[in-house]
Amino acid sequence: MTFADDGGRWWLAELRHSVELLASPAHVQITHLRRNGVHLDELALAFDAAFRPVTSPDERIVMSPAALTALSALDDLLSALDPDPALWTDEALATTPEWAEVRAAARRAGQALTP
């Protein structure tokens, strides 16, 4: 699907879903990951897959400056996460300050995306 097909609504829905999952409590995230048989990095990859097209200069959809700022801050946090495998476990997701900060940033981004 392209932006031209629906004016970016599908991509925006994907972005909202990704942000909502990143903002969810760790136990919800872990349940989602296990149910779908994917690794923790999929949370970041799903956000990236939705965020990049939505904000590309060629296909940008109309979004408030506050939403773009909050989404960019979330993107920066995810990009800066240490690649150390110890940070990419269910236990780390539930207990580390890095993941708590990601959840807080995702909540702010979700609030900024709310119409």
Cα→Cα distances 59→4, 5, 12, 24, 75, Å:
9, 12, 12, 28, 18
Dihedral of CA 80/82/88/94: which sign? negative
**pLDDT at residue 96 greater than cutoff 70:** yes
Angle formed by the axes of helices 9-23 and 41-55, nearest 10°: 150
What DSSP state is assigned to residue 7?
T
The label of the residue with tokens 């920066």 reads 76
pLDDT tens per residue, range 16-30:
999 999 999 999 999
Distance CA 55, CA 48 (A): 11
**DSSP codes joined into one string, 17-84:** HHHHHHHS-HHHHHHHHHHHT--THHHHHHHHHHHHHHH-TTTPPP--HHHHHHHHHHHHHHHHS---
Whether the predicted model's global pTM rises above the 0.85 cut:
yes
Give me the pLDDT at residue 109, please: 97
Share of the chain above pLDDT 90, in %: 72
Closest to 71 (Cα-Cα) out of 33, 6, 23: 23
